[in-house]
Amino acid sequence: MNVTITSLVAILVIIDNCTRRCLGLPVFIKGRKVTADDVIKALENRLPPELKYIISDNGKQFVAEAFQRLCTGKGIVHVRITRPRPATNGIAERFVERLKEMRQRGNGRM
């Protein structure tokens, strides 16, 4: 399926760090205006029950109190990567780079 992107979007990359399996790629048309509530809604049905850790960057969505409540309520340890070291979250970062490469080769289509 080809999707033409005509505005700024945000993609939440959900990857199992052990298996490197993609669990989801929710796309938010809001771009930079994505909230913690948006992220929580996207995650709720995608998180496996045995999940113990979430690794994220330090975006406002992940430092928000609502996101912390989600993690605490599910017994999940939330680990935020060290600034400015995106390599700490290398699997997700590489996945995003690959998506960008695919988009460029397809003339803006994914």
Q: How far is CA 68 from the centre of its chain?
A: 15
Task: Give the number of other CB atoms < 10 A from CB of residue 95.
Answer: 18
- Terminal CA-CA length for the chain: 8
Domains and CATH numbers, the chain: 10-105 (3.30.420.10)
Tens-digit pLDDT profile for residues 78-97: 999 887 666 677 778 888 88
Are residues 9 and 36 in contact, defined by beta-carbon separation less than 8 angstroms? no
- In total, the chain counts a number of residues equal to 110
pLDDT at residue 66, as a whole number = 96
Q: What is the pLDDT of residue 1?
A: 56
DSSP 47: S
**pTM listed for this prediction:** 0.75
Q: What is the reported pLDDT for 2? A: 62
**pLDDT digits 0-9 by tens, 5-46:** 556 788 888 888 788 888 888 989 888 899 999 999 999 888
Positive or negative, the CA dihedral 9, 46, 95, 101 is negative
